[in-house]
Chains A and B, each alone.
Chain A
Amino acid sequence: MKKNISRLVPFLIMASFLVSGCNQDTSSTVTTVKPAITTQAEKPQGPVYKGKVVGRSNKAKQISIAVGKGKDAKTIMVSFDENTTGLEHAKKGHGAIIAYEMRDGVPFATTIKQKLAKLPQGVTVISPQDVKALIDADKDFLLVDSRPGKRYSASHLPGAVSIPVCEMQELLQNLPKHKDKLLIFYCGGPT
């Protein structure tokens, strides 16, 4: 049964047009995952930790993951072993959903999945190659770097402006007047 589910998952992900998103420091929760589409197969079984991976040690077989928001934010240590699936998704700084079970009072990871971000309605994905082509063709568009200002400062795409996601609301007036002008956003990559 478990195998069937894992075989279904990639298909369901594609079918739901879910795409991997960027680091979302603020959107971690310890609650069960709400899948974008409601099918039985998408729901992880049992409890999960959802958040950003702080670190992973293969030697100690431990993953540390930051979960919760604001006052409830905390890091949790989860053990894993050779039967844990999806270990490649437990990458430092990346969003992950860790399904776990308690063994001797310690959380033990059973399945690890990439935390997926959904794009807002009407927004589409563009590849680096296509962005490069637009720049080379001198097309009229605004390229926005959503990362913190420090990251932008050290290394950004040519012609990009810095509007960190946290300041987006205050800096909306920096966006073009014409609402149909092309805006392209980027950040630190899929997590």
Chain B
Amino acid sequence: MSPKSAGQAVKAGYKNIQVMLAGEPAWIKAGYSTYANYGFVCRGNNVIIDLRSPEKSAAARVPRSVNMPFASFEDTYDEIPIKAPIVLYSDNEEETIAALRILQAEGYKKISLIEGGFHGWKRVGGRLVKGPVVTDVHWQRILAEGEVSLAEFEKAMKDPNEAIILDVRTRDEVSEGKIEISQHIPLDELCKEMDQFICNIKDMQKGQKIYIHCTTGARAEMAYKELKKRGYNASYLVAEVECDGNDCSIEE
């Protein structure tokens, strides 16, 4: 994207142009911070963490923010879902950076800060709320296009009329166990024999919902794209699936 934009700037007559090709991920890797904009803080699908004391948080805080005082942050951060985008703020820059480092070390990937922290928020006229502090994290991942929710998937595990469950793992993996009512075809075979395979599924009807799963969601997503291309009503599950016999554990 950036080389293309740079090209347009060249055409527009700009003479002094550079491109940071390594991109935003490299910026973060170099240990530098990134920032959330106002709209994302207000309305984003994220977890906002107030690192200040409970007293300060009760008196005035950024809307929707959860209080996790820095002093005890190492004991509380693991309540934040690992996949959640996080926005951190405090009135102490050093503590903000230290909390950022803790999260990065634990594998959290999407972390940004409020520019200028709490004071910066106030300076730009950011809305504040007061009242008893909030300490519970509530966050739900928004499903990507083509994804089926775990709840819907679990419904189909109990009721075959809901949807056909399609398992695209390898034969080896399936030999350890599978979801009882699922249909199985390894991903590589699916591409060659899709129509034939699906026609042979009992009670298969046109437009029938098909929920695809594997062990993480990666193969399921690939299978989904293939099925969708051929006009099937498919969606895929992003979750860790592990089976022992017909006993399967599914975790988001």
Contact = CB atoms under 8 A, between A and B. Distances in A.
A121 B76 CA distance: 51
Interface stretch (B35-43, B121-129, B149-157): B35-43
B25 A188 contact: yes
Given A62-B188, A123-B3, A158-B35, A190 B222 contact: no
Interface stretch (B11-19, B63-71, B197-205): B11-19
A181 interface: yes
Given A22-B23, A59-B219, A175-B14, A146 B169 contact: no
Given A132-B27, A155-B110, 18 more contacts: A59-B169, A59-B215, A62-B222, A75-B226, A121-B10, A126-B18, A131-B27, A146-B1, A146-B2, A156-B34, A163-B5, A168-B9, A179-B13, A179-B15, A185-B19, A186-B24, A187-B23, A187-B24
A153 interface: yes
Contacts of A189: 21-26
Nearest to B34: A155
Nearest to B173: A59
Query: How big is the A interface, by class?
Result: 35 or more
A185 B2 contact: yes
A30 interface: no
A37 B46 CA distance: 46
Interface in A62-117: 62, 64, 74-75, 77, 79, 92, 105-106, 117
A51 to B, nearest CB: 13
B20 A184 contact: yes
Interface in B208-248: 214-215, 218-219, 221-222, 225-226, 229
A38 interface: no
B20 A57 contact: no
A154 B85 contact: yes
Contacts of B26: 128, 189
B168 interface: yes
10 contacts: A57-B219, A59-B173, A117-B3, A122-B10, A146-B2, A156-B24, A157-B34, A172-B12, A184-B20, A186-B23
Nearest to B16: A182
Interface of A: 19-24, 54-57, 59-62, 64, 74-75, 77, 79, 92, 105-106, 117-129, 131-132, 144-147, 151-158, 163-165, 168-169, 172, 175, 179-190
B225 A75 contact: yes
Contact of B17 (A22, A129, A152, A183): A183
A55 B218 contact: yes
Interface string B44-88: 101000000000000000000000000000000000000001000
A59 to B, nearest CB: 6
Nearest to A169: B8
B168 A60 contact: yes
B19 A184 contact: yes
B143 interface: no
B192 interface: yes
A186 B219 contact: no
Nearest to A60: B187
A138 to B, nearest CB: 15
A109 B44 CA distance: 40
Contact of A128 (B30, B46, B187): B30
B160 interface: no
